[in-house]
Amino acid sequence: MPLEYFLFGLITFLLTGVECEETEVFVEAGSQAVLSCKGIPSSRVIPEIIWTKTNKGTVWRKDRSGLQYWGSSWTSKGFRRVQCPHSRFERNDFSLQINNVRGEDGGEYSCRVMHGDLIIERLIMLRVIKVSLSSPMPLWGSDASISCDVTPWPQGASLQWTLNDRTFDPQSGSDSDTDQRVVREKATVRLTGIWTCVVGFRGIEGRASAALTVNGIIHPSTDGTKLYAAVGSSVSLPCVFSSGLTPSDPVWEKLKPGFIFKPSPGRLPASFSPSSSSSQPLSDKSASLTEVEVGDKGRYRCSGTLDGQQLNRNMELVVAKIISSPPSKTSVTLTCDLTDSSEVTDYEWVQLISDLNGSQSVQSVQKGISLSINTMSEENQGNGPACSTGNTAFWEILSGNKSPGSSQNTAVVVGLGFLLLVLLLILAQMYKNHQRRKRIFQFPALETIVHINSNEREERERNQEKK
């Protein structure tokens, strides 16, 4: 008896020609899903197509007469979220398109294509992936969570998180599937970017993404940022909040050294100046030091209150200067000295050259922390050398071989020497002219004496002849 039932079922199956396949489709929520279903290319019979969803009934149907029907749950106010493009029917492509996919659309779908007595059935499992954020713009230091939801969840699937296309390893990870789907972290700049959940199942990969921006102090982005400035120059102390945020009670403090975990505020430098430009955004609470001194080195803290929560950022000012060794007759040695060189990778000495238009160009001189300069060389005249560190933004330390006072004295001495030289030249020329005039006046006097003597002699001779 069981053998007869088996033979009857086999004969029925062969007569009806039922063909059944099942595929997996991953789609991100909000996008369009395409559930593939193709008929028999050689068939000339107008087929009947029925799309259904398990436990939800008919989704879309087309009779042989050409009439179409939509399920009531797929239409709303005349708008239909599902369709089967007629332009593909000639190619026996009866794929179903679902627009603006939702989480509840996930599940098993069936496509039945009936070519007369031949029935082809396709089974498609639609899995909708969505990345959810506890807040798309959490406040710095608050609790933030990013979750990956797949409807329905595939048992045995793998899950991986990426942030800005780089693998992200949660600090509070777990081996369980449920915990891996959720990332819980304190909101810092580390979490800013595009979060992507990558799900792998049976050789198929699905993914969904969401953007997260952490609100707070965005510049400097991290605590302990080092700022570099030369003695005598000005420096900006940045403290910029996220765009659109207006912190209340902004405060700047200089922290006393020696207190790492609970720093104590000290006195701000005399040249400290909070920014107060009318064109400056309300989110910018930066400050500046107009003239840096060596004693201005150390840690500074900027703070402000947002939604009852105080945010702060610490930064360190590194002061640089050039130390000159006692000069010899022909050379002097300059050393680039920093109050904190822990993050300096290399030093480079450059020459600052000014042209007639007042613009400056930089010419590399040598590498190293010290530089020996030949004071007798004309190449070292003009602007002094500048020291720059390889891992920081370029900053200048102008250094001359002489102090400004000695430079002024030298100019005075050179000027007086030039005037003296001019006076000597004038006196020499006057002396030459005097001597020339003396030589010219001597010859007329001699000529007069000779002429007088000759006249007297002739007069005596005439007087003798008369006698």
Whole-angstrom distance, CA of residue 180 vs CA of residue 193:
19
Which of 93, 92, 96 is closest to 109 using CA atoms? Answer: 96
pLDDT value for 21: 59
Both structure tokens of 111: 């496509």
CB 246 within 8 A of CB 286: no
| Tokens encoding 440 | 């010219």
- Give the per-residue pLDDT at 396: 42
Q: How far is residue 71's CA from residue 87's CA, in Å, rounded to a whole number?
A: 22
Report the pLDDT value the prediction gives residue 8, as an integer from 0 to 100: 34
- Residue 379 has phi, psi (to 5 degrees) of -65, -25
Q: What is the pLDDT of residue 97?
A: 95
Residue 265 near residue 275, CB atoms below 8 Å: no
3-state secondary structure of 386: strand
Domains along the chain with CATH numbers: 22-128 (2.60.40.10), 134-212 (2.60.40.10), 217-319 (2.60.40.10), 325-396 (2.60.40)
What pLDDT, on a 0 to 100 scale, did the predictor assign at position 226?
93
Tokens of 9: 């079922």
Query: So what's the pLDDT on residue 412?
Result: 56
Is the sign of the CA dihedral 113, 119, 120, 126 positive or negative? positive
Full-prediction pTM beyond 0.75?
A: no
Whole-number Å distance between alpha carbons of 195 and 204: 20
332 close to 325: Cβ distance less than 8 angstroms? yes
Amino acid at 155: Q
Amino acid identity, residue 161? Answer: W
Residues in the chain: 467
Angle CA 87–90–92, to nearest 5: 105
For every one of its 467 residues, what pLDDT tens digit does the chain have, with 9 covering 90 and above? 444 434 334 433 443 444 455 799 999 999 999 999 987 775 567 789 999 999 889 999 999 888 889 988 888 777 889 998 888 888 888 999 999 999 999 999 999 998 878 888 999 999 999 999 999 999 988 999 999 999 999 999 999 999 999 999 866 544 455 678 999 999 988 899 999 999 999 999 999 999 999 999 989 988 889 999 989 899 999 999 998 888 988 999 999 887 666 677 888 999 999 876 767 888 899 999 999 999 999 999 999 998 888 899 999 999 998 888 887 777 888 888 899 988 888 888 887 777 777 777 777 888 888 888 776 665 555 556 677 765 543 344 433 333 334 444 555 556 676 677 777 777 777 777 766 666 554 545 545 555 566 677 777 777 776 66
Q: Which two tokens stand for residue 366?
A: 């040598």
pLDDT, residue 462, reads 75
Q: Are 320 and 393 in contact (CB under 8 A)?
A: no
